[in-house]
Structure 1
Amino acid sequence: MQDFIESHKSPSLFSLSCETSTGKFAPYVLPEESSTVQESCENPYNLNVVTCKSPDLQAFLNEVDGLEMNTRVNSRIVKLPHYMPVFDKNVSHLPTLSNDFPVVGVSLIDIINNGIMHKAGSLHEGKEPAIRSSLLESPCFDNKKIILFTSGPDSLIENIWHKRHRIRYFEIISGMGLLAATGFNFSLINGECAFSQGLNIKRSLQSCLEYENSGIAAIPHVYALNSHQARRWVDWFRSNPNIEYFAINCQLQKSTHDINQVIALINYILGRLPRLHVILQGFPYKRLKDFNALINNIHIADASPVKNAMGHRKVLLYPGTKVYKSLSQSNLSVSELILNNIDCRKVMLDHERAKINNVKKSSGLLKKVS
């Protein structure tokens, strides 16, 4: 089994100036984690990230009860299908899906108004975010269980988190009839302050607790950039035996190295805790084969069918080959394209799972499909 992949860079001048190098935050953030820091931790205004040198550091620690991963989450989630399409805010184009798709997803960015704004070529926090509380009342969500993927640009995530009490975020979300919500997708970025990574792991767990306290089942969102962080997650799952699912947002992991790191992290966790299942948001289908014997623990949350259809692109499944292409298509409505694209993507996933399971069966490795 492939073990966890770490990014190795020579320590920089910023490594020794990071407060984690002194052991100040051990055992939660180890001194050696500072060796990956490649940029200054000086950030007095907490722009995009809270570092070890933040003047408000203690307030951020108090908010999440320190860096220890001692947050208890008890949500039990019903058995989830292996393929879950992700809808968006353009509900007028969204069709009613068959019972083959009992669970659908929505992303945070689609249930928020004014959460972010474009300015000078980049994203910034919106001034007064508001929740589209009636979005899920659209007929396309009828008789569907809905998962909220609390993922999106850092500027959106930070904005909603900081203003969550003022905008009554959890109170309003709890009335929207969700099956579950994933923990906030706080970023872990290679090269940034090692303390910020430990803090963001804890903040994501804190968001799960706040979902639970609001009556919403929580699915932890997992990121790890080194073996210490991965071990902490394994220990946390062992201490929270009710948790069966976790999520990873892969939409920004485009390079081969980044995808390899996601696969290695999943192999690391599931190899030690085979009771767990992972929901991958935006994972490339061509890499599903890399999961081998773990394929039945993999679930796909997929927004690409809707996005392609909104761009008038059709997923084409070639008979007998199970290969697909996105082609320009103008003679079908957006709703018809969405139905086609979702059906084809599910067929592709079923085909990949069947291929892997057939190999497992022939080699005597097949376990009960869950």
Structure 2
Amino acid sequence: MATFLGLPSRVAPAARCDCRRCPWYSGSDADPGIVLAPLCSGCNSDCAYCGCARTTCGGCPVRCGSRTDIHAWMADVGDTLEFDDITIPGTLPKGLPRFIPQVDGSAVAELDAAARRPAYAIGLRRVFSPRTHQIYPRWQQDKTAAEILELPTSTLTVLSGYAEDPLVEAFWTARHRDKLIDHIAALRFDLVLAPNYSIYGNWPRAEHLINMRRSLLLAGELARAGIAAVPNLYWFRLEDLQRYATWAADTEPPAVAINLQTVRENTNWDTWALPGLHWLAANLPADLPVILTGLSRRDRIATAVGLFGARLTLISQNPAQYALHGAVMTAEGRVDLHARVPDAFAASVWYMASLLPGGA
């Protein structure tokens, strides 16, 4: 419990987005008796929830200082919005390739017989049910992830912890209650990309700050369970990127990941993703590995390679998705060959791997 203005209280963002009364505001007009950690430059001017008069805060999809349960949420993230107390120990597995195809978990042995890749990824929704919010029975066997997927024991397995908001929110809520992290650890994935919590442009700034911290916190919890875990970076402002760079330099995580699966339109790529990637490439520690998910266009992959070079790892589910329709990815784009699924998958995997440094 923190002491705030001489009174025992849980520290929380100010109600009604009153920056001058917020413990996290960095503006020059902040009340000097209020500010504890100046890490936010002010409220989100595009927030669609500004002035919200709802009384059913518990059913609202966002967190803000006006929520009736905001103190419970602050307690859930450790009563701070800083990153200073978060560390993510561990190392990346040896032999991690530059390109890792993501599969849906079915007939993986057949795909591997054609592609012979050193690593495969699988998404969180294939392991954690969006309906029951439990680990699927298939993954509750006394087997490793590689054994469940019927892969050679030498093949690396990666859990890509990205999913739609309701699923990752459910994972956060149930992670301790249902010992989800222990379940994930028992599966002995060689690498886990920690779930990322969304940052939407029309949400209050408090939600951004809470979700950035939750993404790092969850990666830290996975790492302390003995899992090789990598945190996801999401941002909205330059100050967010600056905080990440400072945190990475101070704590030396094994790698950082960035989920670009929802960046489809050129507008989002040009205005959000690309400027952020450029800034991170120039300001993250030069030897810090970077794992990107969701890139499939040749020009965007080339841009990422130009920014991060040999420290880049790319994870993509496009080869598996195309293969379901007998299509392959080529330099000219998608080609519908009506090929066998394993053959189409292997062709796309080899093509995408060729776009990475060393053709790996």
TM-score (normalised: structure 1): 0.78
1:22 Cα deviation (Å)?
3.7
| 8 A Cα contact 1:36 1:190, kept in partner | yes
Q: Secondary structure at the match of 1:139?
A: coil
Q: Equivalent residue for 1:30? A: 40
Choose from 231, 234, 239 the match for 1:228. Answer: 239
Cα separation, 2, equivalents of 1:173 and 1:106: 13
1:227 Cα deviation (Å)?
0.7
Cα separation, 1, equivalents of 2:258 and 2:83: 18
The answer to whether structure 1 residue 306 and structure 2 residue 283 are counterparts is: no
| 8 A Cα contact 1:96 1:139, kept in partner | no
Q: Equivalent residue for 1:18? A: 17
Q: Equivalent residue for 2:269? A: 259
Q: Equivalent residue for 2:222? A: 211
Q: Cα deviation per residue 1:206-246 (whole Å; 9 max; x = unaligned)?
A: 101110121101101001110111111011101112x2411
The answer to whether structure 1 residue 274 and structure 2 residue 289 are counterparts is: no
Q: Cα deviation per residue 1:58-109 (whole Å; 9 max; x = unaligned)?
A: 1111122121112111121135321111111323674225796322211101
Gaps spanning 5+ residues in structure 2: where? 1-14, 26-36
Q: Equivalent residue for 2:151? A: 140
* CA distance 1:102–1:28, change in 2 (3 Å): farther
Cα separation, 2, equivalents of 1:268 and 1:142: 38
Cα separation, 2, equivalents of 1:45 and 1:171: 28
| 8 A Cα contact 2:123 2:160, kept in partner | yes
Q: Equivalent residue for 2:93? A: 78
Q: Equivalent residue for 2:348? A: 341
Q: Equivalent residue for 2:107? A: 91
Identical aligned residues as a percent: 17
Q: Equivalent residue for 1:56? A: 69
1:184 Cα deviation (Å)?
1.5
Q: Secondary structure at the match of 2:157?
A: strand
Choose from 155, 158, 177 the match for 2:166. Answer: 155
Matched to 1:232, the amino acid is R
Q: Cα deviation per residue 1:292-342 (whole Å; 9 max; x = unaligned)?
A: 353323221010000111133233x4xxxxx23323333x32222222221
- 4+ runs of 1 displaced by more than 6 Å? none
| 8 A Cα contact 1:103 1:144, kept in partner | yes
Q: Secondary structure at the match of 1:77?
A: coil
| 8 A Cα contact 2:97 2:119, kept in partner | yes
* CA distance 1:179–1:206, change in 2 (3 Å): same
Q: Equivalent residue for 1:290? A: 303
Q: Equivalent residue for 1:68? A: 82
Choose from 211, 235, 238 the match for 2:249. Answer: 238
Alignment size in residue pairs: 320
1:143 Cα deviation (Å)?
2.1
Q: Superposition RMSD on alpha carbons, in Å?
A: 2.7
Cα separation, 1, equivalents of 2:349 and 2:234: 27
Q: Secondary structure at the match of 2:209?
A: helix
Cα separation, 2, equivalents of 1:342 and 1:313: 12
Matched to 2:327, the amino acid is R
* CA distance 1:39–1:93, change in 2 (3 Å): farther
Cα separation, 1, equivalents of 2:208 and 2:20: 14
* CA distance 1:191–1:168, change in 2 (3 Å): same
Q: Secondary structure at the match of 1:54?
A: coil
Cα separation, 2, equivalents of 1:142 and 1:99: 16
| 8 A Cα contact 2:88 2:254, kept in partner | no
Cα separation, 1, equivalents of 2:256 and 2:108: 31
Choose from 170, 190, 200 the match for 2:181. Answer: 170
1:21 Cα deviation (Å)?
5.9
